[in-house]
């Protein structure tokens, strides 16, 4: 079993932490969820999602590109809640589909973190790109922020 990652949007850090209390530590993306959330199992924010952010922003990836802040911890073995900077939200929100998304999917699917068993088919990452870009657009348009819930 891999590491689980849910991405969601709420008004601010206090609302995100409150959600952890309401869900007894998550998961956030589940049937009957009270927030706009997506499940991106295996897509962690700093490196794997960071590679997509770098491609979308046309900048080199580095470990500081997607800066997360730990907001809540369920202990040594998790789960954990991290905030994601608004600059990352806005970069993801700028991905609007079409040829650009197709190119991003092909390139992202060739990164070491995703292509550990060889390059992925060019369109394999399109659904994940559409989900995270859509969530980011909805967050930006509502003046909300992105968060990542993680569990082993």
| pTM summary value | 0.96
The pLDDT, as a whole number, for residue 2 is 79
Q: How confident is the model at residue 33 (pLDDT cuts 50, 70, 90)?
A: confident
Q: What is the mean pLDDT of residues 127-135?
A: 98
The pLDDT, as a whole number, for residue 99 is 95
Distances (CA, A) of 137 to 73, 84, 87, 140: 27, 14, 12, 5
Nearest to 128 by CA among 147, 101, 150, 110: 101
Nearest to 9 by CA among 133, 139, 128: 139
Q: How confident is the model at residue 44 (pLDDT cuts 50, 70, 90)?
A: very high
The pLDDT, as a whole number, for residue 28 is 93
The pLDDT, as a whole number, for residue 32 is 86
Q: What is the mean pLDDT of residues 54-71?
A: 97
The pLDDT, as a whole number, for residue 78 is 93
Class of domain 4-151: alpha beta
Least confident of 8-12, 45-49, 100-104, 115-119: 115-119
The pLDDT, as a whole number, for residue 95 is 98
Q: What is the mean pLDDT of residues 17-38?
A: 93
Mean pLDDT of the chain: 96
Nearest to 134 by CA among 78, 96, 83: 96
The pLDDT, as a whole number, for residue 1 is 55
Domain ranges of the chain: 4-151
């Amino acid at each position: 079993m891999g590491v689980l990652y849910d991405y969601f949007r709420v008004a601010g850090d206090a609302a995100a932490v409150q959600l952890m209390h309401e869900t007894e530590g998550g998961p956030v993306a589940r049937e009957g969820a009270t927030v706009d959330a997506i499940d991106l199992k295996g897509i962690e924010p700093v490196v794997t999602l960071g590679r997509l952010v770098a491609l979308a922003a046309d900048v080199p990836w580095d470990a500081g590109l997607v800066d997360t802040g730990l907001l809540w911890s369920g202990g040594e073995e998790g789960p954990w809640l991290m905030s994601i900077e608004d600059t990352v939200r806005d970069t993801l929100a700028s991905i609007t589909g079409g040829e650009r998304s197709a190119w991003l999917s092909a390139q992202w699917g060739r990164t070491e973190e995703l292509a550990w068993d060889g390059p992925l088919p060019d369109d394999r990452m399109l659904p994940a790109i559409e989900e995270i870009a859509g969530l980011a657009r909805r967050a930006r348009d509502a003046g909300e922020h992105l968060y990542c819930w993680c569990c082993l």
